[in-house]
């Protein structure tokens, strides 16, 4: 059963948990700033330019690769031999001004005891800039990005295995936060507690099953602040 209020938490979240694993986009920052909308448009433009197709066809292909291959990049590499470094540099060339210092998130992370890590399908330079603007970069031990995962994206099990091995994580002592709910299933299967940041996105809800979600929230900073100050 999911936690139902800020004062009631699933027992899995109250066990000994000292490793906190965070997705980046639409998780550490609120989706309402629409930063990822810029990325989404950049990806669409990239697909159009690469394959010389119209925007509607590009959009369909972009999302099909996302759902079938884990990321659009993974699909483009698999079927169109795209250079991943060129792709990552191109789609992450955006305006970061929408990301502002998040005092509540800073206080929440400061009160949360244990190791803190980012596990993202984006790349490290992009993640670093976002975390710097939020004011949270110094709280984190590391950023495990798509390059560190040998370009194997969540929700592929191999990405989780590499992440856990690199940082010597005991999954039974970890909690994972993520806006793409299907990316929580491998974490749950490994023994992690899971928190879904539900942004209302069609893609974020895909493959939702409450059996592998221990808590839900609309905004991470609010939930994490309440949890860390309980």
Predicted local distance difference test score (pLDDT) of residue 226? 96
Domains of the chain, CATH where assigned: 11-33+99-228 (3.40.50.1000), 35-91 (1.10.150.450)
Report the distance separating Cα 223 and Cα 104, nearest Å: 10
pLDDT digits (tens, 9 = 90+) for 135-187: 999 999 999 999 999 999 999 999 999 999 999 999 999 999 999 999 999 99
How far apart CA 2 and CA 98 sit, in angstroms, is 32
What is the structure's pLDDT at 171?
Answer: 98
pLDDT of residue 6: 43
Mind listing the pLDDT tens digit for each residue in 7-36? 579 999 988 899 999 999 999 999 999 998
How far is it, in rounded angstroms, from Cα 119 to Cα 130? 14
Q: Is residue 65 over pLDDT 90?
A: yes
The predicted structure's pLDDT at residue 202: 87
**pLDDT average, residue stretch 216-230:** 96
Q: Residue 115 and residue 21: Cα distance in Å, rounded? A: 8
What single string gives the DSSP state of each residue in 167-226?
TT--GGGEEEEESSGGGHHHHHHHT-EEEEE----HHHHTT--GGG-SEEES-HHHHHHH
**The tokens of 34 are what?**
């629409």
CB within 8 Å of 79: residues ≥ 6 apart: 65
User: Rounded CA gap, 137 and 150, in Å?
Assistant: 23
pLDDT band at 67 (very low <50, low <70, confident <90, very high): confident
Average pLDDT over residues 70-97: 93
Give the pairing type, strands 142-144 and 193-197.
unpaired
For residue 1, pLDDT over 90 is answered with no
Give the length of the chain: 230
């Amino acid at each position: 059963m999911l936690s139902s209020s800020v004062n009631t938490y699933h027992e899995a979240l109250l066990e000994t948990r000292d490793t906190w694993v965070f997705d980046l986009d639409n998780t550490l920052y609120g989706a309402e700033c629409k930063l990822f909308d810029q990325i989404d448009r950049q990806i669409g433009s990239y697909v159009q330019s690469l394959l010389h197709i119209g925007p509607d066809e590009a959009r369909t292909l972009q999302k099909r690769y996302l759902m079938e291959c884990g990321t659009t990049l993974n699909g483009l590499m698999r079927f169109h031999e795209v250079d991943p470094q060129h792709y990552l540099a191109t789609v992450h060339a955006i305006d970061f001004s929408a990301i502002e210092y998040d005092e509540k998130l800073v206080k929440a992370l400061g009160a949360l005891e244990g190791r803190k890590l980012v596990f993202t399908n984006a790349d490290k330079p992009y993640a670093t800039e976002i975390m710097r603007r939020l004011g949270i970069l110094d709280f984190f031990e590391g950023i495990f990005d798509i390059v560190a995962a040998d370009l194997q994206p969540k929700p592929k099990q191999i990405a989780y295995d590499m992440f856990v091995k690199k940082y010597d994580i005991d999954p039974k002592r970890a909690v994972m936060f993520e806006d793409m709910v299907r990316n929580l299933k491998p974490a749950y299967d490994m023994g992690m507690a899971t928190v879904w940041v539900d942004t209302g996105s069609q893609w974020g809800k895909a493959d939702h099953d409450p059996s592998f979600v221990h808590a839900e929230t609309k905004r991470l900073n609010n939930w994490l602040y309440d949890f860390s100050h309980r």
